[in-house]
Each structure stands twice: as structure tokens, then as C-alpha cells.
Structure 1
């Protein structure tokens, strides 16, 4: 008998080896599916995948108690539900194509439309706090140079977290002042070359000079040993920086800030798309939600009647 779990493992094998999806993508599918199994343990076969059952899944997600810090709470964001809907639907469509179900049970269930009113661009004051906390609280010179460079890469290149920790020293060209994001580490599966901002170039040179005795090929090294920073290490780095700076942020906000700064500088949106590594310009336009009308007073002043 083909259980849902067995079929999902087959789906993941195809994602990894036939479709060659990024590990980040398959990790997302795994996380949502494991949550689905946990919330709906009574569902074990494809024939039990019905619209009614999926509605029950979302109801349980919305009402289940969970711990946030030391507080018991319930409810989830619309964006979280939309993510879960999207990732589950990819698997359900796969089941349909292989004849295990007639239709995706989500076919007639529309996902919520998130209200992106949480302006995700980092303010200049927050950026200054983050930089100053690195200098003020770091244990040694190498950590100061590394963390300063990491923040600068995020701000001036808009890299995704996977692209950031996958950088090699060989991806830098300090003569041409260029940073290369390799196709195998990029979500778009395309190599892109970014020009370095002078501030970033300076921070990279300072860091490379400080870590000159290390042999690892990874650009961003762990605090202990001669190895690259892991995803777990990056997660810890973010938490530590939040505590030190007093700025509550998540890593993707640097990417939003990069996009908004380019738009505010009137950079052509097609150029922004290329620098962000988006295959669809509609995705680039979504980052414009971080721009606020109160930041556009100079543009309004340009109107002539």
C-alpha cells in the first residue's frame, strides 16, 4: 500500500536528484509535511486527502496552543498559512500527476492574501545600532571584521542566507571589485556577478587581512576552528546580534533594505531584478511593499503643474 509518508519520500527523492532543487527548497517541503503529519496523524493514505480534511488541518493550525518564548499562544500569520498551502499543494499536484489522487484537495481552497503592512526595510538608525554593537561587543578583532563584513554583504549585495554562507574566498575579485554568486548556490540557478560598494570592498579587505592565516575555502568562517559558518551558526549569529544591538530583525530584512535602497536611488527595476537574482520581475515588485509613502516626499516635490 502506498502511504502518504512513502509517497512523500519518493517526491523528495525526485526533488533532490531529478529536479535538482536547492536543499533550502526541499527542507521547506519537509518541514511543512512533517507538521502536517503531526497535526493530522489520522491521515495515512492518499484517498483521505479531501478538501474537508485540509480545512480541518488549517483549523487545527489556527487554534492549537503553542509556546512562544515563555508564553502560551495560538493563531498564525496569514503569510504562514499561505506558505503551508503552497508547499503542500506542490506535493498534492505531484500526487495527481502520478494518478494517486484525482485532484489536489486544495484546488478549490484559496490561500489567504497576507497583508504586508509590516514594513520590512531596516531604518538607517537600526543599521547603525547593528554595526556599533559589533564593534562594542565582539570578543576579538577577527569577529569584528567578520561580522562587519557579513552585515555589509547583506546590505550592499542583498544576498539570501544560503548564498551568504556558501561564498568562497575565490568568489571575490578585489581587482575588479566584484562578488560572484555561483549558480549552484543561487535560488534562480543562475550565476550573477555584483559590483562591490566601496564600503563593502573596504570591509572585505580588512577581514581577509585579519583571517590570512586560515586555510578554509569558505569566506565566512566559524568562530572556532578553520571551517565555514553553518546554517545553525548563522541562526545563532542573528540571535546574538539582536541581543547585542537591541534591534529586532530577521536576516531577510537586509535583502528588502537592499532592494528599497536601489529603488529609492531610482535604479531601473529591471536592473534591480538582475541584482536580486529574481527570475520573475513580479517577485522584485513585491519588495516594493517595504517602501512607505512618507519616504517619498522628495518625489512629490518634483510634480510640476
Structure 2
């Protein structure tokens, strides 16, 4: 059986039956195509434990894959070959006993409170040509820092998803195909309202919440990336949008938010994912050490 045709069936199954995201399907496609090209595999019968193992070893040693990249490739093979086995195209999985490297445990990269405030100040005071762009950009960065939205979640955000009156943000089908509601602080609500008033003045009627300046449509992925590049240069701060999400999480803990509530706001499937922020916040840990019962003896 031609492995490319088989893979196309697997992609359709994963998308329409399993309900995996388009991003996941894209990853499956990239991994399988790269493997087939590297190992010169054309038929499913050509797949062996040896050439899968050699491919993964090549990636880890020659292409300098990090442990996380290796694990992503390994997981893709596990899912694809398990499906092939269930469909009767393989007797056993060629992934077999291939070991995976231990994932490095790193603390999330985040801003201090001072740098987060500095970035918001730079974003607002940047010498824009148009008032709309000033209010929109400030609202976008406030969404990342005050609500912890992911990049793709902000891009998909609709006008009707933001309820300023009830101080809520509805995240429709975020990562893992999960809906969630994120509460909105009064500071964020004021920033968003200022942007919405300006949006209304310019008669922006598209369904997307954050819109283009010149066109009546949502701002694009490249548009946001361009703004981030400008703000990096203007502020002198090195950051990614995901770093701003990490900043939201650590600042929430430092402010006294409990770990369960933060997990819900972040949209984590497992609360263990959220607990890493406990270690990323020295201020939070310092506040806890004061609870030692022998401190009063000093």
C-alpha cells in the first residue's frame, strides 16, 4: 500500500473523526513526509523499526533536536502506526521499544511586573500616525498580559466573544478544542472599551474583535507579528507573545490567585501544567515561606 495515500486517509480520519485541529494535522503531515523522504519509504511495507529508529537518531544527533521535538516526532509515529495497525496494514507498530529522551524541565520565561508595565507604556506612547492603532495595539497587548490569551486565540476572537458589561472573554475552541471563559479585570475593560469606541467611530463592522486599520476585516497573523517586532525595538525588551502569557500566569499567582482558578483561566487540560508557575515566581514562594511556624522564634 502506498504510504502517501494511506497517510492522506489518516489525516482525514484524524480531522473529521477524531476532531484534531488543523495545526495537529499539519504537524502529522510534516513529520510523515519528512520521514518518507529521508528513509526513501514509498510503501507501508517499507517501514521498519530500524529505519524509524535511524531517522529519530538522525534528528536527535545531526539536526540537534531538543527533547521536546524528538517527543513530538515519536508521538506522531505512535498515533499513525497505531492507526495503520488497527486498519490491518501493519502487524505491529515499528515504533516498538524506541526510547524517548527525558524532557527538560525549564521555568517559564516571563517579565517582572515592572517590565510588563514598561511594555504597556511603550505600546501606548509609541508615535503612531492614527489614534485607532494606538488604542488597538494597547488593547491587544493588554489582552496578553491581563488575560493570558494565546496568539491564535486572540486572532480568532470575535466581537461577540468580549462582554465588557459582564467582564468576561469567551475563548471559542482554544488549544485542545476547548471552550473557556476568562474573567476581565476593570483595568482591561477600560482599555478594551476605549478601543471599541474608536472601532465604532471608524465604522468597523467585521466579526473579528481586533481589526485592520485600512480594511474592514480582522488583523492578520503577519500584522500582529509586525507590531511585536516594532514594540521589541521600541522598548528594548526581548519577548514573545507566549512570554506575555507566562507573565500573566506568574503575576496572577503573585497577586494571590489560587492554582485551580489560574488553571481554568489558562485553559490547561491538566493542573500539573499550571503548577510550574509556582516555581517561576520567587515572590510567591517568599510569601509562602513566611508561614513557617518557627519564624516567630527569631
Question: TM-score surpassing 0.5?
Answer: yes
- Give, in angstroms, the shift of residue 137 of structure 1: 4.8
Name the SS for the 2:78 alignment partner: helix
- Looking at structure 1, the residues matched to 109 and 218 of structure 2 have their Cα atoms a distance apart, in angstroms, of 28
* Deviations 1:187-214 (CA, angstroms, capped at 9, x unpaired): 3434322221112111101111111121
Question: Aligned pair 1:206/2:204, yes or no?
Answer: no
Q: Which has the larger radius of gyration?
A: 2
1:65-144 map, 5 Å: 75-134=64-123, 135-144=125-134
The alpha-carbon deviation at position 283 of structure 1 amounts to: 3.1
Q: TM-score scaled to structure 1, two decimals?
A: 0.84
1:51 to 49, 52, 65: 49
Q: Residue by residue, what CA displacement relative to the aligned partner does 1:114-155 show, whole Å, maximum 9, x if unpaired? A: 223353222234323432332325442222211211111112
**Equivalent of residue 264 in structure 2, options 245, 269, 274:** 274
- Cα gap change, 1:32 to 1:297, in 2 (>3 Å): same
Structure 1 unaligned blocks of 5 or more:
65-73
> 1:22-50 CA deviation, whole Å, 9 max, x = no partner?
22322332333343344x15122223332
1:197 corresponding residue in structure 2:
185
| Deviations, residues 237-291 of structure 1 (Å, cap 9, x unaligned) | 4344333333222222222222223333343322222222233323333x43761
Match of 2:291 among 290, 293, 302: 302
For residues 27 and 245 of structure 1, what CA distance do their matches in structure 2 show?
Answer: 34
2:218 is aligned with 1:228: yes
Q: Which runs of 5+ in 2 are unaligned?
A: none
| Contact 2:11–2:25 (8 Å) recurs in 1 | yes
In the TM superposition, residue 90 of structure 1 has moved relative to its aligned partner by 1.9
User: What is the SS of the residue equivalent to 1:192?
Assistant: strand
Q: In the alignment, what sits opposite 1:155?
A: 145
Could you say if the C-alpha distance between residues 247 and 85 of structure 1 is closer, same or farther in structure 2, counting changes exceeding 3 Å?
farther
Mean Cα deviation higher: 185-194 or 169-178: 185-194
Q: CA 1:297/1:154 → structure 2, altered by over 3 Å: closer, same or farther? A: same
TM (norm. structure 2) is: 0.86
Work out the CA distance in 2 between the residues paired with 1:116 and 1:223. 41
Partner of 2:208: 218
